[in-house]
């Protein structure tokens, strides 16, 4: 994803996507940002407990990207289709 306004920080816009809907099986969301010559790119990574939970969030066409209207207003472009992967290893640092 590329965006028009380098000052925009999409914090609450992405939280609202899941918090308002209270999706069963939603685990977490990560928003990654990378500076490139053309501007800034974002990648959103969402984790769900099952494909059924993904369908509840995204609808029957669960590969259609869910991009909130507020985000669409500031993004120069975004992928229309999502890709889904299974987590096979998850590791966190020790505290």
Structural domains of the chain, with CATH: 2-77 (3.30.70)
* pLDDT grade for 56, boundaries at 50, 70 and 90: very high
For tokens 């590791």, name the residue.
Answer: 91
Q: State how far the Cα of 64 lies from the Cα of 35, in Å rounded to an integer.
A: 26
pLDDT at residue 6 above 70?
Answer: no
80-89: list long-range contacts, CB under 8 Å, 24+ apart: 82/58, 84/51, 84/54, 87/47
State residue 94's pLDDT score: 78
pLDDT at residue 81 above 90?
Answer: yes
State residue 68's pLDDT score: 87
Q: Is this structure's pTM higher than 0.95? A: no
* pLDDT grade for 71, boundaries at 50, 70 and 90: confident
Q: What are phi and psi of 13, to 5 degrees?
A: -60, -40
Q: State how far the Cα of 6 lies from the Cα of 65, in Å rounded to an integer.
A: 22
């Amino acid at each position: 994803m590329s965006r028009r306004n380098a000052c925009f920080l999409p914090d609450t816009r992405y939280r609202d996507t899941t918090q308002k809907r209270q999706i069963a099986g939603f685990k977490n969301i990560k928003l990654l940002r990378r500076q490139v010559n053309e501007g800034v790119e974002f990648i959103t990574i969402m984790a769900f407990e099952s494909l059924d939970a993904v369908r509840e969030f995204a609808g029957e066409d669960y590969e259609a990207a869910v991009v909130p209207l507020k985000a669409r207003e500031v993004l120069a472009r975004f992928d229309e289709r999502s890709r889904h992967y299974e987590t096979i290893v998850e590791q966190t640092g020790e505290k």
